[in-house]
Structure 1
Amino acid sequence: MFFDGAANHRGCGAGVLFITPEGLCMPMSFRLGFDCTNNMVEYEACVLGLKTTISIGVKKLEVYGDSSIVIFKVQGRWKTKDEKLKPYQEYIEALVEHFTEINFDYFPRDSNRFADALATLASMMDFGPGETIQPFVVDQRDSPSHEESINVLTVDGRPWYAKIVDFIKEGRYPADATHGEKRFLRRYATQFVLHEDILYKRSYDGIQLVCVDEEQAQTVLDQVHQGICGPHMNAHMLAKKILRLGYYWNTMEVDCAEYVRKCHKCQIFANLIHVPPTEVSM
């Protein structure tokens, strides 16, 4: 069991993380609706964790905390002199009697970040009496969000222009295509040229634009917008420059807008808007 407490200007909270011998993690957060000192919230977190383990019948427990006051006093290395903490100390000693084996160990704060995050989250939340917050999922993302705007270019593992290539080469329609979709595909395919298995888009100025897939489109966006000599232009200029360079995909304008909107450097160095969000009343 890992425990930690948090006290700030928004309130107080306690966080407890239980890890079973099988490796199953069970996090719990408690919002404390009364004033507490920093040491009191640490005791509250420890007590709440012990009471929870007792309620589910745990008899052997390893307790870890980053509060040297709580850990060392429970171990008997330090004496409790603060009158506010003596009731907590006595209560913990009574709870310890419910276990056949229990150990308290000091854990550095950097290694107790999960419980610390739970306690801080509980202290910052505002909700009424009797209300609870349902469990939530923390997902890990391994790539920037702006890359997702191009994911629509890949459908069932095939690039967006696969249907056009199939129609030009074999005159074949998708298996589930309706009559209207077939008619649209026939008209849309007239804007493309297939040469040596490379699909080109006809442009109004006569330039043949190479149709790119998802990975290639992401590379083009990165290099044109923020690559070597990349001027970090706006979305409209970015799309126009990509067309002038001879590249095309069907969601280019939307992807350029999303890419520029989520570019970190563009947000930092963008011009400040001094116009108030609402009209100023005189």
Structure 2
Amino acid sequence: MYTDGACGPEGAGAGIVLKIPEGEEYNFALRFSFPVTNNEAEYEALLSGMRVEKYLKVKELSVYVDSQLVANQFNEIFEAHDESMQKYLKLVQELAVDFDLFQIMQVSRTLNKMADALSKLAALTFSHFKKEIWVEEVKVKSIDTDGVSATVEEDEPSWMTPIVEFLNTGTFANRFNRGKKN
């Protein structure tokens, strides 16, 4: 599991990447509705990922974080002086005993890019978006195509129906001005 926390002027969030031995990957972006410091965001990301892994009944968990503080506090290289850091560390230690094997390793930010990107996305204010974001890979430049590169199939008419009809037939049926003369 890879985790990262981010804190900025617009808010705070976490990125969690779960990789299972069979090769599948699950990505999560969490936005925090409460104020946190950057170190607290790192711990929140870690704890959220641990709870997911526990729910999935994972027995052996290796965690990769780019937070030197989190990794070294857990591995007893650094001491947690701040009261909130002590509380976070205690929660991690309590959850860690639920796994047969649990370890935290610090990695460079370049090895934690996906969790980092997810945490930064979650930290942005984007309340005008729906909760789900679709990401599609575009493989060819728009200027390098010879027409339509994909076909859209609809289960029922939507705002895209006239556009799809135009792309398929070359004619535009204006559904909103039916019966009116232009």
- Regarding TM over 0.5, the answer is yes
Q: Offset at 1:145?
A: 2.3
Match of 1:73 in 2: 73
Per-residue Cα deviation, 1:223-281 (whole angstroms, up to 9, x for no partner) = xxxxxxxxxxxxxxxxxxxxxxxxxxxxxxxxxxxxxxxxxxxxxxxxxxxxxxxxxxx
Match of 2:135 in 1: 137
Could you say what secondary structure the match of 2:84 adopts? coil
Q: Offset at 1:144?
A: 2.6
Q: Offset at 1:85?
A: 1.1
Match of 1:55 in 2: 55
Per-residue Cα deviation, 1:25-75 (whole angstroms, up to 9, x for no partner) = 000111001111110100000000001100111111110000000011111
With over 3 angstroms needed to count, the CA separation of the structure-2 counterparts of 1:105 and 1:145, relative to structure 1, is same
Corresponding letter in the other structure for 2:2: F
Q: Offset at 1:83?
A: 1.5
Structure number with the bigger relative contact order (C-alpha 8 A, sep ≥ 6) is: 2
Match of 2:120 in 1: 120
Q: Offset at 1:119?
A: 0.4
With over 3 angstroms needed to count, the CA separation of the structure-2 counterparts of 1:147 and 1:39, relative to structure 1, is same
Rounded to whole Å, the distance in 2 between the matches of 1:101 and 1:50 is 12
Match of 1:106 in 2: 106
Corresponding letter in the other structure for 2:5: G
Identity, % of aligned pairs? 30
Could you say what secondary structure the match of 1:152 adopts? coil
Rounded to whole Å, the distance in 2 between the matches of 1:45 and 1:118 is 11
Match of 1:21 in 2: 21
Rounded to whole Å, the distance in 1 between the matches of 2:99 and 2:91 is 14
Pick the aligned partner of 2:143 from 122, 143, 146: 146
Per-residue Cα deviation, 1:143-173 (whole angstroms, up to 9, x for no partner) = 432212xx1399xxxxxxxxxxxxxxxxxxx
Corresponding letter in the other structure for 1:4: D
Q: Offset at 1:84?
A: 1.9
Task: Compare 132-141 and 49-58 and name the one that shifted more.
Answer: 132-141
Corresponding letter in the other structure for 1:63: V
Q: Offset at 1:134?
A: 2.2
Rounded to whole Å, the distance in 2 between the matches of 1:64 and 1:82 is 23
Structure number with larger C-alpha Rg: 1
- Trace 1:73-92 onto structure 2 (pairs within 5 A): 73-92=73-92
With over 3 angstroms needed to count, the CA separation of the structure-2 counterparts of 1:66 and 1:138, relative to structure 1, is farther
Q: Offset at 1:132?
A: 6.9
Q: Offset at 1:78?
A: 1.1
Q: Offset at 1:21?
A: 0.1
With over 3 angstroms needed to count, the CA separation of the structure-2 counterparts of 1:108 and 1:86, relative to structure 1, is same
Could you say what secondary structure the match of 1:113 adopts? helix
Match of 2:64 in 1: 64
- Runs (4+) off by over 4 Å: none
Rounded to whole Å, the distance in 1 between the matches of 2:27 and 2:79 is 31
Match of 1:42 in 2: 42
Structure 1 unmatched ranges of 5 or more: 155-282
Corresponding letter in the other structure for 1:124: L
Count of equivalent residues: 149
Rounded to whole Å, the distance in 2 between the matches of 1:21 and 1:41 is 27
Rounded to whole Å, the distance in 1 between the matches of 2:77 and 2:143 is 54
Could you say what secondary structure the match of 2:83 adopts? coil
Could you say what secondary structure the match of 1:116 adopts? helix
Structure 2 unmatched ranges of 5 or more: 150-182
Match of 1:232 in 2: none
| TM-score in terms of structure 1 length | 0.50
